[in-house]
């Protein structure tokens, strides 16, 4: 397993050196702020990744480098697990090495594990579930069912989409055993363990009127672009690497049809069922990449067996395809190029990643653009607060339009001694605006017309300037407002938006 181990170390090193080239990603800032408010749930994600980050930063701090270590380690672990899965499917040393190379070079895996979020850990839970399903089908021991329940329960508390993998696994297990498995205690034990683990999060959802359901419905209706099944599959193949796409299709077919991969057929069905559900719902293509480690492992075993006695030279072809994807897509996945160089590179390729949200596009893809402008925003808000008379400064409320702005002000505003910024977006709405009655409001975003319907005094004091940020995060007005005409509680409720 030398090759997987070395490639894991190389990827970790890439993330912790070249991956620090721009700034902290919007979602990372939000996760950081969530970790200051530990709970059993959040509007747009479950609690595990937040609790892990809270524990991590308590020991190692909350610098960008510190927050990037855990996802980088997850990326390295995924490479190793994919190689181990190839071995589990009967692969030898070449299959393990090839699986590691493909996982290492997959653009989406490289991007997802380059910043802190629940997504990097989700990859590990889907891969672990593949191992556990094989154990359940091949051995069916009590410990296998316990591990299945633990994997589904903790995985769901990390990201709800693990339930899709769990449902696919359940269908596959029932079909493979022709329902005989229901005669024993194993399935009920696994369900009970998973339900017990997830129960506190469900209680939190009930107590807060199911905010995640509202968030998902709004995202489907107003945020995500409609791509259709073909558009989804096209985006997915780009996420996995355009040069590797035909190879991965062959790997999925091989899991179904090749005798040498017979033991991996349940994993093929799990992958196919998951892809079908995601393709026919309004989902982002990257949601499906977690289902592909078994396909990568199966492809690697298939190639090893097909070239074992002859055509050994052909083994270089999938390696070349994987490394070709890495060479092409690495600047899109890791912020390794200066912005002018990246823009020139993108134009030379004539390739721009498709937009998955209804937001205007700038010169950089959203994945990179959302790392710019946040320190400058905090500095401008600090300037607005300093311009207030001392009495108002002590009782001002900073209100941001969205979670990225609020989190950035709270993270970078510490150097200016700013009070906590609030927002009515996602979980900031649940955290509220505090106990004190404000004398003045520093508001980021919104329009003059909207604010003048709520405040008697409205004055624009600045506009953000971040040339490389998303278009909707540059030129954003910063207002000082006074004398709110409606009760603050009512204004807060009106402004709630889960999306």
**Nearest to residue 165, comparing CAs of 151, 178, 179?**
151
**Nearest to residue 35, comparing CAs of 411, 379, 495?**
411
Residue-wise burial string across 371-380, b where 16 or more C-beta atoms lie within 10 A, e elsewhere: bbbbbbbbbb
Over residues 130-148, mean pLDDT: 97
As a whole number, the mean pLDDT across the chain is 95
Tell me phi and psi for residue 456, to 5 degrees. -80, -40
- Strand arrangement, sheet containing 440-444: 422-423, 396-400, 440-444, 477-484, 455-463
pLDDT of residue 382: 98
DSSP H helices, 350-441, are 366-369, 374-386, 390-394, 403-412, 427-431
Cβ atoms 70, 48 nearer than 8 A? no
Q: For a pLDDT cut of 90, what percent of the chain falls above it? A: 91
pLDDT of residue 357: 63
DSSP string, 439-477: SEEEEES--HHHHHTTEEEEEEEEE---TTS-GGGSS-E
HSE-up of 447 (CA within 13 Å, CB side)? 3
Give dist(CA 133, CA 150) in Å, integer.
Answer: 12
| 221 — pLDDT class (breaks 50, 70, 90) | confident
Q: Residue 11 pLDDT more than 80?
A: yes
What is the β-pairing status of strands 422-423 and 396-400? parallel
Cβ atoms 430, 47 nearer than 8 A? no
Express each pLDDT in 357-399 by its tens digit. 666 778 899 999 999 999 999 999 999 999 999 999 999 999 9
pLDDT of residue 356: 60
Q: Residue 355 pLDDT more than 70?
A: no
Give dist(CA 80, CA 451) in Å, integer.
Answer: 54
Q: Residue 158 pLDDT more than 80?
A: yes
Express each pLDDT in 234-256 by its tens digit. 999 999 999 999 999 999 999 99
Cβ atoms 44, 207 nearer than 8 A? no
Query: What pairs with residue 423 in β-bridges?
Result: 400
**Nearest to residue 33, comparing CAs of 498, 474, 412?**
412
Q: How much helix, strand and coil, in percent to the nearest 5, is found in the chain?
A: 65, 5, 25
Cβ atoms 425, 403 nearer than 8 A? yes
pLDDT of residue 350: 84
Q: How far is the CA of 466 from the CAs of 164, 184, 471, 486, in angstroms?
A: 39, 61, 9, 34
Over residues 53-58, mean pLDDT: 98
Over residues 83-90, mean pLDDT: 97
Residue spans per domain, the chain? 2-333, 374-494
Express each pLDDT in 318-341 by its tens digit. 999 999 999 999 999 999 999 999
Structure token pair of residue 132: 């556990």
pLDDT of residue 222: 82
Query: 228-240 and 245-257 helices cross at what angle (nearest 10)?
Result: 100
**Nearest to residue 7, comparing CAs of 66, 78, 71?**
78
Tokens 């997504």 -> residue: 119
76: CB partners within 8 A, 6+ apart: 8, 9, 11, 12
Tokens 């902290």 -> residue: 24
How many helices (H) and strands (E) the chain has is answered by: 24, 5
Give dist(CA 72, CA 115) in Å, integer.
Answer: 8
Express each pLDDT in 260-315 by its tens digit. 999 999 999 999 999 999 999 888 899 999 999 999 999 999 999 999 888 889 99
pLDDT of residue 358: 63
DSSP H helices, 262-402, are 265-279, 293-306, 316-333, 339-349, 366-369, 374-386, 390-394
Give dist(CA 114, CA 16) in Å, integer.
Answer: 8
HSE-up of 31 (CA within 13 Å, CB side)? 29
């Amino acid at each position: 397993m030398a090759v997987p181990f070395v490639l894991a170390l190389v990827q970790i090193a890439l993330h912790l050196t070249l991956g620090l080239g721009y700034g902290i990603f919007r979602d990372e800032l939000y996760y950081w702020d969530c970790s200051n408010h530990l709970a059993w749930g959040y509007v747009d994600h479950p609690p595990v990744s937040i609790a892990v980050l809270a524990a991590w930063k308590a020991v190692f701090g909350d610098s960008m480098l510190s927050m990037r270590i855990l996802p980088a380690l997850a990326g390295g672990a995924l490479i190793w697990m994919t190689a181990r899965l190839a071995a589990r499917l009967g692969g030898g040393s070449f299959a393990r090495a090839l699986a590691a190379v493909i996982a290492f070079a997959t653009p989406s895996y490289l991007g997802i594990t380059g910043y802190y979020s629940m997504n990097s850990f989700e990859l590990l839970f889907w891969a672990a579930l593949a191992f556990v399903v094989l154990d359940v089908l091949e051995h069916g021991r009590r410990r296998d069912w316990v591990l299945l329940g633990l994997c589904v329960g903790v995985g769901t508390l990390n990201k709800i989409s693990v339930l899709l993998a769990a449902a696919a696994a359940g269908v596959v297990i029932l079909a493979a055993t022709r329902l005989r498995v229901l005669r024993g205690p194993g399935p009920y034990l696994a369900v009970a363990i998973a339900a017990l683990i997830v129960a506190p999060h469900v209680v939190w959802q009930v107590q807060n009127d199911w905010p995640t359901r509202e968030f998902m419905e709004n995202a489907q209706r107003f945020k995500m672009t409609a791509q259709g099944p073909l558009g989804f599959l096209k985006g997915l193949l780009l996420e996995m690497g355009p040069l590797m796409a035909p190879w991965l299709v062959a790997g999925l077919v091989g899991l179904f049809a090749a005798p040498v991969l017979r033991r991996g057929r349940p994993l093929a069905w799990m992958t196919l069922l998951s892809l079908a559900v995601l393709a026919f719902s309004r989902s982002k293509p990257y949601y499906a990449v977690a289902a592909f480690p078994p396909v990568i492992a199966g492809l690697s075993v298939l190639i090893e067996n097909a070239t074992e006695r002859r055509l050994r030279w052909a083994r270089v072809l999938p390696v070349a395809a994987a490394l070709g994807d890495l060479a092409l897509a690495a600047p899109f996945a890791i912020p390794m190029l200066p912005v002018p160089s990246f823009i020139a590179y993108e134009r030379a390729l004539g390739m721009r990643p498709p937009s998955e949200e209804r937001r205007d596009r700038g010169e950089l893809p959203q994945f990179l653009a959302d790392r710019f402008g946040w320190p400058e925003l905090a500095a401008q808000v600090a300037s607005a607060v300093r311009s207030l008379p001392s009495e108002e400064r002590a009782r001002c409320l900073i209100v941001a339009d969205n979670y990225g702005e609020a989190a950035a002000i709270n993270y970078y505003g510490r150097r200016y001694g700013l009070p906590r910024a609030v927002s009515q977006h996602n979980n900031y709405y649940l955290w509220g605006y505090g106990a004190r009655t404000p004398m003045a409001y520093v508001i980021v975003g919104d329009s003059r017309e909207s604010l003048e319907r709520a405040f008697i005094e409205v004055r624009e004091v600045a506009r953000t300037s971040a040339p490389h940020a998303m278009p909707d995060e540059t030129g954003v007005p910063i207002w000082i407002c006074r004398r709110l005409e409606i009760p603050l509680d009512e204004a807060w409720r009106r402004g709630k938006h889960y999306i």
